Amino acid sequence: MLSYTGMILYMTKFYILNLVLFRTQITMELSLYMKFNKPPVLFLLLFSILFFSITLSATPKLVFASIIFRHGDRTPTTKLPNSPFDWKYGLGELTPRGMHQEFELGKTYRKKFIEFGKLLPYNFDINQIYVRSTDLNRTLMSAQSFLTGLYPPGTGPFLANYRAALQERIQPVPIHSVKKSNDILLHSQGVYKKQLNVLFKKHVYSTKEWIDMENSVKKYFNNWSEISGLKINNLENVKKFANNIYVRTIHDIDLPKGLSQQEITILIMLSSWIHAQQFKPEVIGELVAGHFIKKVQNDMNGFINNKGGFICYLYSAHDTNILAIMSALGMPLSTNPPYASHLMFGLYKYEHMYQVKMIYNETIYWQSTLSEFKKLMNN
């Protein structure tokens, strides 16, 4: 059996190996050592503590994040003339359910960024976080709801006499926005509408997948036109009707009479499939998300090079944005992002090395070195 001096030498070797990120090799070395020696319990205990502490110190730390999220549950954007319903909050507006979804999402990121990750301070710091939204009620209110979860009542500032500045110590957070017609960052689908229609015809409506789907459901077009009061003679026309049916379904609202259960199932499927299919081609993703992708890259580079800026960027936007980003990066989604979906570009640091993770709805879709991330974004 080796002497205690030999054991210390082994532990020192393990430590050095770990510092250069060869923890797998450490495990192999320990297994080899234990195969031919019987170390005392004290040695194993000391080794376990050392290995655990090194592992914690070697864990990459989140130092920068850019998150874009879809608004919460909303009412339909289009009325059905032949099947009217009084939408209490108006068309295309955030519902209480949607507010709660975003509030819960904000709470999730508070745990991730503040309570555990320590990316952001416990109390709001205007120099650390930047929030932007499209100029629509549902995204602005979604941003407010999200921020209430991120910085809830009780975290706001005090006056000089230690009284709460606002009742219940509410923390206001500025939300920035620009006119829709000028918003090439988050609403380029509207700014470039004419170009998009040309690309849709060329890269979507002429594809086998689109044509096959249209042929499989066109037998319902006349019935759907009569039931809805909308002109439905192609798959694109189905989208607004299908979304209306989907919203009614999840809110337990009576559906238009004359729809079979099979048609309802098909419409709910189409409400997700059509939109995702439209933004699947990479060229369409680049048009819609190109400016956003460039901004994420510039902001991340600015942080790394100490050129100012913020450590956390939050964007309240739409399903279209997430679809376009994923397609532009070569990872198109096959279905529409659900309400309150979120996509994070996180920059992690270990000593002098950086790693980037792209996380969509808590699933890591891509992770690699900073240089590989730059290649991905530039391509």
Q: Give the pLDDT confidence of 45-85 residue by residue, as tens digits.
A: 555 555 555 444 568 899 999 999 999 999 999 999 999 99
Mean pLDDT, all residues of the chain: 89
CB atoms within 10 A of CB 307: 10
Give the angle subtended at the CA of 113 by the CAs of 108 and 117, to the nearest 5°. 120
Give the angle subtended at the CA of 172 by the CAs of 166 and 173, to the nearest 5°. 165
Note the pTM of the prediction, 2 decimals. 0.85
Which pLDDT tens digit goes with each residue over 90-131?
999 999 999 999 999 999 999 999 999 899 999 999 999 999
Which residue segments constitute the domains of the chain, with CATH numbers given? 4-58 (no CATH), 61-191+281-378 (3.40.50.1240), 205-278 (no CATH)
Bridging pattern class, strands 342-350 and 61-70: antiparallel
Is residue 37 very low, low, confident or very high in pLDDT (cuts 50, 70, 90)?
low
- Mean pLDDT, range 320-331, rounded to an integer: 97
Which contiguous run of DSSP H or E holds residue 313?
A: strand 312-317
Which position has the token pair 């655990």? 52
Where helices occur in 279-378 by DSSP H, the ranges are 282-304, 319-328, 370-378
CB 377 within 8 A of CB 100: no
